[in-house]
A and B are shown apart, each in its own frame.
Chain A
Amino acid sequence: MSFNYDQYIRGGKLPHIWCPGCTYGIVFKSLLRAVDSLKIPKDDIALVSGIGCASRLPGYVDWNTLHTTHGRALPFATGLKMSRPDKKVLVVSGDGDATAIGGNHFIHACRRNIDITVIVLNNFIYGMTGGQHSPTTPIGHIATTMPYGNVDPIFNIPELAKGAGASWVGRGTAYHVPALDKLIVEAMQHKGLSVLEIINACPTTHGRRNKFKSPTDMLLWMKDSFLPITAFGKLPPEKTAGKLPTGVLFKKEAPEFCDTYYGMVERLKKQKEKGA
């Protein structure tokens, strides 16, 4: 095979727990390829997650992994990163975990612009608990807590991240796989808080209730509904209406939190030496 996944997967853990047709496995493989291309030693990465199907990812990977409480991956990750700013810290979280219960930590991590890569696996539902609607479930879709069609307004996760101060924001999908590898690499290489939303499918609790006949249909829906951001300038409006962009959606240069904090520490230490 063209890539050795075994070097990163903890022995005896496959087959993983995700359902048949769940696209998280596609993202998992893409993440491994992306990190491998960056040549980061396994001891130098931590992967932190909350609770949910997306949050099960860390258990499978042979890095320093931490599976915390629902919505709270970012504070734990902040503690790790501030203690070892020289190491790479990734957070993987689902749509509900990151933007509902974890919303406060999400916006503050963005505001802080701490060098953590936040990968939000958006499958538009609370999958692990059986299919309750989340802050991203499309309007009109059926969920167990919106059995007559969702009427609860939804987040645009990249807009939320950008508005809160994240300095790198991107979106990929489980259909557009080669582009996804590159997006994960760029999100990780960016110094600052990166938010990469990855569009995913939950055939079991979302697709089945919403007229998606198969996991493949959900992937094809991703293909149709998400276009590269470059296409939005070139195609006529009727071709892009109702679709969302993928790619690097926003980036800016901004002071990174570990740098500014430890810069302050150095300054204070020097002042003290001069004063003494």
Chain B
Amino acid sequence: MANVQVTTAEKIEATENPEVKISIIPRFCKGCEICVKLCPTQVLAMEMFLVKVIDIDKCNACMLCELRCPDFAIFVDKKIVDKKKTEEQEIPKGE
């Protein structure tokens, strides 16, 4: 069996929002709907029993979907957008 881990699993990424990226690992999602129902801004919805991003613009990166997902299926990455430059950087991991 292939050694599938969180970093190597196939992901569906919603990258349209310059401030936040949501990654979903369909292989791990069990369709429990916790993330969908507890998202305060209705960013997510279920499709074919898996979670899907439906409105990334509403995401304020509260991280609750990632914190409350039991299955390592959804991850939220805040991006720093420096208005002076056009590059985007991920927020570095805290120590």
Contacts and interface: CB of A to CB of B under 8 A. Distances in A.
> What bracket does the count of chain A residues touching chain B fall in?
20 to 34
Interface string B5-41: 1110100000000000001000110111110011000
A219 B68 contact: yes
B91 interface: yes
Interface stretch (B52-60, B70-78, B81-89): B70-78
Nearest to B37: A216
B1 interface: yes
A9 B93 contact: no
Given A22-B70, A216-B34, A14 B28 contact: yes
B4 interface: yes
B70 A21 contact: yes
The A interface is mostly helix, strand or loop, or mixed, namely: loop
A21 B51 CA distance: 13
A177 interface: yes
Contact of B72 (A25, A174, A215): A25
B69 interface: yes
B69 A26 contact: yes
A197 to B, nearest CB: 18
A11 interface: yes
Contact of B5 (A2, A3, A11): A11
Contacts of A214: 32-33, 37
A174 B37 CA distance: 15
Which of A2, A5, A216 has most chain B Cβ within 10 Å? A2
Contacts of A56: none
Contacts of B30: 15, 19-21
Closest 4 CB pairs of A and B: A25-B70, A20-B30, A21-B32, A216-B37
